Amino acid sequence: MFDLAILQSRFGDQITESTFRDNHRIVVPAHSLYPILECLKTEQGFDALMELTAVDYLEYEGATDRYGVVYVLLNTVNSERLIVKTMINPPQLELPSVYPLWKSADWLEREVYDMFGIVFPGHPDLRRILMPEEFTAFPLRKDYPLKGIGERHNFPVITRAES
Partner 1 sequence: MAVGLPENVFLTQLDAAANWARSNSLWPMPFATACCGIELMATAASRHDIARFGAEVMRFSPRQCDLLIVAGRVVMKMLPVLQRIWLQMPEPKWCISMGACACTGGVFDTYAVVQGCDRFIPVDLYVPGCPPRPEQLLAALIEMQNKIKQTGTLMGSEFGRRTTPTGPSPFDLDELRRAREMQPLVDLEIYTPPTLAEAVQAGAKRV
In the complex, the smallest distance separating the C-beta of residue 145 from partner 1, rounded to whole angstroms, is 6
CB atoms within 10 A of CB 108: 20
Q: How far is CA 37 from CA 2, 4, 12, 66, 135, in A?
A: 12, 13, 14, 22, 32
Q: Which residue, 115, 120, 110, is CA-closest to 86?
A: 120
Beta carbon nearer to partner 1, 127 or 152: 152
How do 23-28 and 16-20 pair as beta strands?
A: antiparallel
Beta carbon nearer to partner 1, 62 or 90: 90
Is residue 26 within 8 Å of 83, Cβ to Cβ?
A: yes
Among 62, 121, 124, 132, binds partner 1 (CB under 8 A): 132
Beta carbon nearer to partner 1, 78 or 92: 92
Applying CB under 8 A, the span of 13-21, 25-33, 41-49, 151-159 interacting with partner 1 comes to: 151-159
Q: Is 154 in the site for partner 1 (CB under 8 A)?
A: yes
Distance from C-alpha of 66 to C-alpha of 69, rounded to nearest angstrom:
10
Q: 89 to 128, contacts with partner 1 by CB under 8 A?
A: 90-91
In the complex, the smallest distance separating the C-beta of residue 124 from partner 1, rounded to whole angstroms, is 23
Beta carbon nearer to partner 1, 5 or 158: 158
